[in-house]
Chains A and B, each alone.
Chain A
Amino acid sequence: MIPLSWFLILSAALFSIGLFGVMARKNAVAILLSVELMLNAVNINLVAFWRYGNIVNMAGQVFAIIVFAVAAAEVAVGLALVISVYRRFNTVVADEIDLMKW
């Protein structure tokens, strides 16, 4: 049997890698890819806690499904923004998109 700690360590590592990608990458599409890694880490945690808690209480799986829906919505809007910005400024580098910087 696998102890709960294995899943928690895996998901903490995946979350940290995703966080590094969000903070360090320049390409806006790469930042969105790293956000997906973080959302997957959260999903692993939710499902692991569902499995190791009371199995009749489905809250963990239900909220994992809602995270799927939120991830799909986030990617759709995020990529639409990136494509729109690319059309206007001809760049996808997050540092160069500083229209709202004062």
Chain B
Amino acid sequence: MTALQIIFLLAAAVILISAVMVTATRNMVHAALWLIATLFGVAVIFAVLEAGFLAVVQVVVYIGAIAIMFIFAVMLTRREMLDKGPQMNKRAWLAGILCVVIFASLIYMLSSWVGFNQIPLLVGNADTLTLLGQSLLLPSAYLLPFEVASVLLLAALVGAVYVASNRKQEEK
């Protein structure tokens, strides 16, 4: 077993354990902290896949922005729900069975594919970061999805501010 495989297995164990804890913990602040552990594991997986830029973006955007936003939302909405009542639906068992079936059928479908066990080619001297920048900004490559993503972010910003603003208080 090579060092890379051991790193992968450790990261995968961290990801899966903390993902289970995200769906199982009662305290929402703890769930958000477990989500941060999952996101760190995914950043390690990106580094194993030699996508260094995405690993950095994962830490900066997901952990630095999205996870912090979740913690703020939890602090703004908790109070009840923490100690009383079940955290799961009445039909959680059905959801569990459905997820196991979906996982099994995904693995079955994928394992019948020829490339399931393929080994990666060496990156060699390819400068993937420059290639990524070029493919994001060349009109012949992915300039349009890039601009659409920026418009989407602007729309989400305006929409979030509008939805979350407290109009009742302003009228008083």
Interface residues of B toward A: which range? 35 or more
Q: When the two chains form their complex, are residues A69 and B96 in contact, meaning their CB atoms are under 8 A apart?
A: no
CB-based contact B163/A17 at 8 Å:
no
Please encode chain B, from 107 to 149, with 1 for each CB lying within 8 Å of some chain A CB and 0 for all others.
Answer: 1001100011111110100101001100110000110011001
B98 CB-CB contact with A under 8 Å = yes
Q: Is B10 an interface residue (CB 8 A)?
A: no
Contact assessment for A70 and B116 in the assembled complex, using a CB-CB cutoff below 8 Å: no
On whether A13 and B16 interact (CB within 8 A), knowing A30-B23, A76-B160, the answer reads yes
Closest CB-CB distance, A30 to chain B, in whole Å? Answer: 6
Cross-chain contact of A26 among B22, B54, B86 (Cβ < 8 A): B86
Cα-based distance from A50 to B142 in the complex (angstroms)? 15
Please tell me if the beta carbons of A17 and B19 are within 8 angstroms of each other in the complex. yes
A36-80 Cβ-contact flags toward B at 8 Å (1 or 0): 110010011001101110011011011111101111111111011
Determine if B116 and A34 form an interchain contact, defined as CB atoms under 8 angstroms apart.
Answer: no
* Bound CA span A47–B128, Å: 12
Q: Across the A-B interface, how many residue pairs have beta carbons closer than 8 Å?
A: 244
List residues of chain B with CB within 8 A of the CB of A79: 69-70, 72-73, 160, 164
Chain B 155-171, CB-CB to A under 8 Å as 1, else 0, gives 11101110110100000
Contacts from A to B (Cβ < 8 Å): 1-10, 12-21, 23-27, 29-30, 32-34, 36-37, 40, 43-44, 47-48, 50-52, 55-56, 58-59, 61-66, 68-77, 79-84, 86-87, 91-93, 95
Please list 15 pairs of residues, one from A and one from B, whose beta carbons are closer than 8 Å in the complex, sorted by A's number.
A3-B117, A5-B110, A10-B12, A17-B23, A19-B95, A19-B98, A29-B28, A29-B73, A30-B28, A33-B22, A55-B123, A61-B128, A65-B54, A73-B153, A79-B69
List the interface of chain B (C-beta within 8 A of A). Answer: 2, 4-5, 8, 12, 15-16, 19-20, 22-23, 28, 31-32, 35, 38-39, 42, 45-46, 48-51, 53-54, 57-58, 61-62, 65-66, 69-70, 72-74, 76-77, 80-81, 85-89, 91-92, 95-96, 98-100, 102-103, 106-107, 110-111, 115-121, 123, 126, 128, 131-132, 135-136, 141-142, 145-146, 149-150, 152-153, 155-157, 159-161, 163-164, 166
Nearest 3 Cβ contacts at the A-B interface: A73-B156, A23-B95, A21-B23
